[in-house]
Amino acid sequence: MKINKTIILIPILIVIVVSLSGCITDDLFKSGETFESNGITFQYPESWQVVNSVAEGSIGAVADKQNPKISAVVQQVPLELGADIQEACSNNNKNLVKSPNYVNIQEVKTTINNQSVIVHRYLVNEADGTQKEHVATWIKMSNGKMYVVLFSAPLESYESQRSSYDLIMGTFKLKNDPTYDGSLASTFMEQVNRFFS
């Protein structure tokens, strides 16, 4: 009786993927430094550092060591902006459109790690003639509080820095939140489990 080689290889591949998944996710998705303060935590690139922010409601900020114009600031959204992320984002946008230096790119509703978010991309023309691209990610967490993570980079650096934004948002979570695992590793494993189920 002849046994099909494919039938033997599939279970072996499944066993290898499952047994190595912990190593793979630890190495690929847990790189960089960890910010942990003011009830939040996230990872950021090793080439970045923690910085002080004067932005209203700021509870954490990191920036590229070589170019501080590349940064991410986490702000707790004040209640007066609205009761949910849609209302808060809309009210914030009303202030943005008043500026002649603001150029809207896009705004989308999506999910990151099973949390509803609004991602708003826009440009700001700086006084020195340069442009900065911003990505404001609005999210309401399990503690009932709303946060906005504002990633900013000069226009020419935006694409090369996208992975920094992905790392920060993929690992952003509340510190000691047992109901929410905001890691890219868990998202990756969900996709692997869906593929094999």
Domain ranges of the chain: 34-179
CATH number of 34-179: 3.40.1000.10
Tens-digit pLDDT profile for residues 31-61: 789 999 999 999 999 999 999 998 889 999 9
pLDDT of residue 4: 53
> Which ranges of the chain does DSSP label H, i.e. alpha helix?
5-29, 85-96, 158-171, 184-196
Contact criterion met (CB below 8 Å) for 26 and 185: yes
Contact criterion met (CB below 8 Å) for 164 and 32: no
**CA angle in degrees (0–180, nearest 5) for 5-8-12:** 130
Question: Residue 97: pLDDT band by 50, 70, 90 thresholds?
Answer: very high
Q: Residue range 88-107: average pLDDT?
A: 94
Question: Residue 146: pLDDT band by 50, 70, 90 thresholds?
Answer: very high
pLDDT of residue 180: 52
pLDDT of residue 164: 95
Residue 12 has pLDDT above 70, yes or no: no
Question: Residue 196: pLDDT band by 50, 70, 90 thresholds?
Answer: very low
pLDDT of residue 178: 60
Estimate to the nearest angstrom the gap between the alpha carbon of 163 and the chain centroid. Answer: 9
Count of CB atoms situated within 10 Å of the CB of 62: 24
Does this model's pTM top 0.85? My answer is no
pLDDT of residue 174: 92
Residue 107 has pLDDT above 90, yes or no: yes
Question: Residue 149: pLDDT band by 50, 70, 90 thresholds?
Answer: very high
